[in-house]
Amino acid sequence: MSTVSGQPYDRLKEIKQFEDSKLGVKGLLDSGITSIPRFFIHPSETLSDLKPTTRLQTYTTIPTIDISDQRSKVVEQVALACRELGFFQIVNHGIALEVVDRIIGAVKGFHEQPAEEKARKEVMEWDGKIKPLGMFLMELLCEGLGLKSEKLEEITCLEGRALVENYYPCWPQPNCTFGNECHIDPGVLTVLLRDHMVVYKLNVVVIVNG
């Protein structure tokens, strides 16, 4: 419970009311709101953390690795990127642009359609493409550590995977909030599929892609 402008404010109660409504962010937007609920608004000090600062080392790009290149070269580049940033971008990964466009379109369409009609074949298609790519990337990580390429598979790191979809529609007061709070991804490896406009912040490393 907090007090704003002399009035008591129960943040947890407001969040529960929102969750119980089952509207979701898209439902709120469709209702015609002109300002966002108070519990979505972040304090200024949190929002300022997203801005680049001269006190921290800042990167405007991340390493881009052509994984169709000579394997020993790719392993070296992956190992270096993991040691220095823990993050890298890959090209020539063998997944057709049409498949990428379909999964992005399906995720967007999924969130924009009526609740009773959601989910379908594009997710299964994407899973069939991303699983072998994930296995290949884990092999590169193993080799970069001087291990045999199957090591992560042997310790069952490839048995489970999750598809997490983030959907950020146009939102009132965009300067008062942001999509995903600071967090640590679970698991050994996260493969991010981005659309044309994203902003990532990696610990003290700021990355902007547009």
Which CATH number do you get for residue 55? Answer: 2.60.120.330
**Is there a domain that residue 29 lies in?**
no
Angle (deg, nearest 10), helices 121-144 and 71-84: 90
Which of the pair, 46 or 26, is modelled with greater confidence? 26
* Pair 57, 201: CB distance under 8 Å: no
| SS3 readout for 135-168 | HHHHHHHHHHCCCCCCHHHHCCCCCCCCCCCCCC
**Is there a domain that residue 79 lies in?**
yes
Per residue in 48-101, pLDDT tens? 655 555 444 555 578 999 999 999 999 999 999 998 888 899 999 999 989 988
**Is there a domain that residue 4 lies in?**
no
What are 170's two structure tokens? Answer: 């146009």
Per residue in 28-58, pLDDT tens? 777 778 888 887 777 776 666 555 554 445 5
Nearest C-alpha neighbor of 75 from the set 125, 139, 28, 119: 139
**Is there a domain that residue 15 lies in?**
no
Q: For the whole model, what pTM was predicted?
A: 0.50
**Is there a domain that residue 35 lies in?**
no
**Is there a domain that residue 149 lies in?**
yes
Residue 205 has pLDDT above 50, yes or no: no
Cα distance between residue 167 and residue 115, in whole Å: 15
Calculate Rg over the CA atoms of the chain: 20
Structural domain of residue 173, as residue ranges?
41-209
Phi and psi, residue 149, nearest 5°:
-65, -25
User: Does residue 113 sit in helix, strand or coil?
Assistant: coil
Nearest C-alpha neighbor of 52 from the set 210, 172, 202: 202
Residue 209 has pLDDT above 60, yes or no: no
Angle (deg, nearest 10), helices 121-144 and 97-112: 130
Taking residues 111-129, report their average pLDDT: 72
Look at residue 115 in the predicted model and tell me its pLDDT. 56
Cα distance between residue 96 and residue 153, in whole Å: 25
Residue 177 has pLDDT above 50, yes or no: yes
What are 110's two structure tokens? Answer: 């999924």
Residue 154 has pLDDT above 90, yes or no: no
Look at residue 55 in the predicted model and tell me its pLDDT. 46
Q: Average pLDDT of the chain? A: 76
Residue 3 has pLDDT above 50, yes or no: no
- Counting the structural domains of the chain, the total is 1
Taking residues 102-115, report their average pLDDT: 77
